[in-house]
Chains A and B, each alone.
Chain A
Amino acid sequence: MLGTFRRSHGLQALLLLVALAAPAIAGPYWVHVGALAWYYALLAASWALLAGYAGQFSFAHIAFAALGGYGSALLTLRLGLPLALSVPLTVILAMVLGALMGALVLRLSGPYLALFTLAVAEIFRLMLVAEEDVTRGSLGLEVPGLFPGGSDVPYYYLGLGLVLLALLAMNGLLMTRVGLFLRAIREDEHAAQASGVNTTLHKIIVFVTTAGMAALAGTYYGHFVGILSPNMVIIPEMGLVIAMAVIGGIESLPGAVVGAVVVYALSEILREYGEWRFVLLGLALIVVQRFAQNGLFPVVERYLDRRAAPPGKSPVVIENAPNMEGEYAKPS
């Protein structure tokens, strides 16, 4: 609707156009970088839903991505299943395990939840290392590609499509009452229960949804990169996903996507500085946490919308909330 169009929407549309046109402008190296960035974007956005909106600080997200990658690869290689079957089966398996984990961590929050999920991720990584006969351990598991030829362009657009679909699905979820309940649980679980919210059900819903998204990301990654190793579950990888979501906007799904692309691109641009680039990214994370706790993208969006507002009538910006015009929030 024209009446609810804001400059921030224009920015999102512009970024989408840039993403669509990038392969025509950038060289093969940057197309490859972009295709990898979509993997991280899927992870960062789904983790933002889990942690930013629902308040469930899970470190096992990356393990679900590895489950997706290895699951799809093994079903294809060992059982000979077609990709059309192995991918959905792996995502369903991840969602079932996500439900199981959601049920296991029902009474955990904050540092206890973080430690529990960290242990889950580490156990999964060690299983991948130990089960050498199945996973080829640290040698790496070769995974068949999805497209013939050596071009990364099809992967780039597949990744972009998956990110867009994931954003639409997650935003759709957040627009329903489930999204409102998830935010209420994040704010105060006891108050949510006293308000009649079935917190158990909704926590499981968010774990199932995000585990499925992470598994899908892992599947994409495995078939794109062509080799999987237990290193995709190491703690720094999870730290990178968290940094992407936090820098972009932990309570903004598009923000997390932008954060993932910017951080990954920066880590490539700064590659000549070796390990120092991660020091720089760490510093960026600290600065963002200090001055823009909800990430940089919402700050830019707010700035644009404020500039567009008529004098003396600045819009009420609903921080920490998805775009809910006509739903819950009624900005004046």
Chain B
Amino acid sequence: MPNPPEAYLAARTLHKHFGGIIAVEDFSAELRRGEIVGLIGPNGSGKTTTINLVAGALRPDSGSIMLDGRDIVGMPTYAFARAGVGRTFQVPRLFKRMTVIENLIVPALTDTGTSRRQAEARAREILAFVRFEHLADAYARTLSGGQQKLLELGRALMLRPSLLLLDEPFAGVHPRLLEQIVEHIRMLSSEGYTIVLVDHNLDAVRSVVRRTLVMARGRKIADGPSEEVLQHPAVIHAYTGSRKALEAHP
């Protein structure tokens, strides 16, 4: 029998409480290298907290996060980024009074071995990828909401990340730009990036991922092929609050 695929990212029994509120409880999941998964759930289900834990922005109360066989819990946030964890935010957090190209070269220059010339060259490649060549010298604050999401994606790519955490990349984006973002994520996936995609736009998520994890009230309640998971009574119940689905499939 062939060996099971080695987990590239392994989160094990993560717990995170804020005072008396349980944000994430007993969350475990594994991702293979190059895999793309959707992470969905109703508002307040703990998706963003989970992303923040995996990105190092929050430290779990307990549990471990192994990235390529190395436990990364406890490292400072910047070290997560340098270890290859790139992320975007629910609401884009750009360096707004800096130009597009400056936004892009910041992550590249955190590698002391990268010169400014190299960082700019890489930034030009990313600008071409997100089709922003004409906006290189524009201020980030002048971009539209969708453009800001794309720039944030580009900034994360400047880290040459092995793991990309995309928090609601489709939210509030014009439909035409949404198609572009979907296309970019597909391309990144085909290039071998390991991606976790969080969003409420289930159609868009389903069009990109095969595997979906569902969270509700801080817990993972489903994990599997997207089509099956989305039909699962517990998932329908979590989204609609209807008990009928659960009763029909006890």
What residues make up the interface of A, taking CB atoms closer than 8 Å to B?
A: 177, 180-181, 183-184, 187-188, 190-200, 316, 318-321, 327-332
Q: Given A191-B89, A330-B137, A197 and B78 touching (CB < 8 A)?
A: yes
In the complex, B99 has a CB within 8 A of chain A: yes
Q: Given A177-B109, A194-B87, A198-B76, A328 and B102 touching (CB < 8 A)?
A: yes
Q: Given A319-B97, A328-B101, A328-B105, A193 and B81 touching (CB < 8 A)?
A: yes
A191 to B155, CA, bound (A): 10
In the complex, B77 has a CB within 8 A of chain A: yes
A157 to B101, CA, bound (A): 41
A316 to B159, CA, bound (A): 28
A193 to B76, CA, bound (A): 9
- Majority SS at the chain A contact face: loop
Count chain B CB atoms within 10 A of each CB in A197, A316, A321, A328 and give the residue with the most: A328
Complex partner residue of A316 from B87, B106, B137, B156, CB under 8 angstroms: B137
What residues make up the interface of B, taking CB atoms closer than 8 Å to A?
A: 55, 57, 76-78, 81-82, 87, 89, 93-99, 101-102, 105-107, 109-111, 116, 136-137, 139, 155-156, 158-159
Residues of A within 8 A of B101 (CB): 328-330
B199 to chain A, nearest CB (A): 19
Complex partner residue of A195 from B97, B106, B136, CB under 8 angstroms: B106
A193 B116 Cβ-Cβ under 8 A: no
Residues of A within 8 A of B111 (CB): 196
A174 to B87, CA, bound (A): 27
Residues of B within 8 A of A188 (CB): 93-96
B198 to chain A, nearest CB (A): 15
A199 to B57, CA, bound (A): 13
Complex partner residue of A181 from B57, B97, B106, B159, CB under 8 angstroms: B106
Q: Given A190-B93, A319-B97, A328-B116, A195 and B81 touching (CB < 8 A)?
A: yes
| Additional A-B contact list (18), CB under 8 Å, known A194-B89, A197-B110, A198-B76 | A180-B106, A181-B106, A181-B110, A187-B94, A188-B95, A191-B95, A193-B76, A193-B78, A194-B55, A194-B93, A194-B156, A196-B78, A196-B107, A197-B78, A318-B137, A319-B139, A320-B98, A328-B99
B125 to chain A, nearest CB (A): 16
A181 to B110, CA, bound (A): 9
B98 A187 Cβ-Cβ under 8 A: yes
Determine the residue in chain A with the shortest Cβ distance to B159.
Answer: A196
B98 A195 Cβ-Cβ under 8 A: no
B78 A180 Cβ-Cβ under 8 A: no
B137 A329 Cβ-Cβ under 8 A: yes
Residues of A within 8 A of B99 (CB): 318, 328-329
Complex partner residue of B106 from A184, A200, A330, A331, CB under 8 angstroms: A184
Residues of B within 8 A of A330 (CB): 101, 136-137
Residues of A within 8 A of B102 (CB): 180, 183, 321, 328-329
Determine the residue in chain A with the shortest Cβ distance to B102.
Answer: A328
A177 to B120, CA, bound (A): 12
